Amino acid sequence: MAWHEGVYACGHPGRVQIYGPVKDRDWKEKKEFSKLCPECWKKKLAEENQKAVETAKEMGLPELKGTEKQVAWANSIRLEFIEAIDEEVRELERRNPNNKNLEKIKKEFDETKKFMLENKTEAKYYIDHRDFTIKEILMELYKEIHK
């Protein structure tokens, strides 16, 4: 364990405690100071979360339920999910422009996304699913819709 001083990517000086073998400490120090300082990171995260809340309101999305921190974080995750679903549809269109079933598939995606937005209003849902691939989420929602 050793203390290392340096300058973060944001330009603020800092001091971090680095654990582990001596041979790894230079690498860990470079990695740590290539990030924003803890204060700038918190500020950036708060700005992103606030922007996500505003975007959700503009889109007319239902408010999420949970603690203030959960809701702020989950709004960001939910917007990422929406963008990922929309990207998946664009990718399908790009790869299969002449697919006869494309409109049906797009309709299924839209229904699944609508179901998620209308029924998944607990911040916990988005936080718990943040590491799922969009395909895993879509399959889970699709099965839930068609029970």
Q: How far apart are alpha carbons 114 and 118 in whole angstroms?
A: 6
pTM value > 0.85: no
Give the mean pLDDT per block of 10 residues along the chain (147 residues).
92 94 92 96 91 88 92 91 90 84 86 90 95 90 84
Q: How crowded is the C-beta side of 143, counted as CA atoms within 13 Å?
A: 5
pLDDT tens-digit profile of 87-99? Answer: 988 998 888 878 7
